A and B are shown apart, each in its own frame.
Chain A
Amino acid sequence: MTSLAAYLTLSAFLFCIGLAGALTRRNAIIVLVGIELMLNAANLNFIAFWRFSENPEALTGLMFAIFSIGIAAAEAAVGLALIIAIYRHYKTANVDEANTLRG
């Protein structure tokens, strides 16, 4: 039986990989991919906490993960549409070149 701590550590690693990617990569799509990874790490936490909770019959964590998957899909669709719109405007998908609002 794998312990809760193992799942939480795996989730922490995935979250930080996603965070590192989102903070360092230049391409906006990969930044979005990093954010998706972070969301997935959070989902893993929800399911791990559900599995190891005192009252798993309530299925609360499971439900949260299902809704979070749905929201992540919507987020990816809108995010990628925005990136395509930005690309059309600036002819680049790099986050550090679309800086018109910089003071």
Chain B
Amino acid sequence: MTAGFVVIALLTIAAGVAAMSLRHLIHCSLALVAAFIGLAAAYLHLGAQFVGFAQVLVYVGAVSILVVFAILLTRGGEDRSERLFSGSWVAGIATAVAVLGVLVWAVSRSAAVRREVSEPAEVTVRQIGDLLMTRFVLPLEVIGLLLTAALIGAVIIAMHEREGRK
């Protein structure tokens, strides 16, 4: 384990905890951005340059802005007196801790983590592009269709229903 990874991991986990537990929703979303950047750093640490930058572009540039807009549009940042957690929070925490226990146990017991691997060669963007246009062309088209459908769907769902005009 290198020092770089420890710093990235601690920052990401701290930001994740903050994103889930802070009282003010805008603070939550800003902590979420920090967690996304930490994850992008982890991708870069793993040698996945393209995915790391795509992560920053999509999550920091788009998803977090969407979250912020949604918070402001629903006035979620203003209710200070209300309870933060739902009534069944004990069960929720217990479930999460149980899942964590199972996952960590499985990781520590797995044979895959002890396999020796060689250093893979640097991945160029050209390789990714070639694969997207050959082997993965069908998923690419499907995701284009999905994004278009999501765009139209999101606009229609969130659109004001105009009175008197159909």
Instruction: Establish whether A and B are touching in the complex (CB under 8 Å).
Output: yes
Q: Which residues of A contact B (CB under 8 A)?
A: 1-10, 12-21, 23-27, 29-30, 32-34, 36-37, 40, 43-44, 47-48, 50-54, 56-57, 59, 62-63, 65-67, 69-78, 80-85, 87, 93-96
Dominant SS at the A interface?
Answer: helix
Given the contacts A5-B113, A17-B17, A51 and B66 also touching, CB distance less than 8 Å:
no
Residues of chain A contacted by B58 (CB below 8 angstroms) = 69-70, 72-73
Q: Select B16's contact among A17, A27, A52, A78, beta carbons within 8 Å.
A: A17
Report the separation of the CA atoms of residues A42 and B86 in the bound assembly, to the nearest whole angstrom. Answer: 26
Contacts across chains A and B counted by CB atoms under 8 Å: 236
Q: Is the CB of B123 within 8 A of A19?
A: no
Q: How many residues of B contact A (CB 8 A)?
A: 85
Interface-centre pick from A54, A66, A93 (highest chain B CB count, 10 A): A66
A selection of 12 A-B contacts at a CB cut-off of 8 Å is A6-B9, A17-B20, A24-B93, A29-B71, A32-B67, A40-B39, A47-B43, A57-B121, A62-B50, A62-B51, A73-B150, A96-B86
Q: Which residues of B contact A (CB under 8 A)?
A: 1-2, 5, 9, 12-13, 16-17, 19-21, 25, 28-29, 32, 35-36, 39, 42-43, 45-48, 50-51, 54-55, 58-59, 62-63, 66-67, 69-71, 73-74, 76, 82-89, 91-93, 95-97, 99-100, 103-104, 107-108, 110, 112-113, 115, 117, 120-121, 123, 127-128, 131-132, 136, 139, 143, 146-147, 149-151, 153-155, 157-158
Q: Is the CB of A3 within 8 A of B157?
A: no
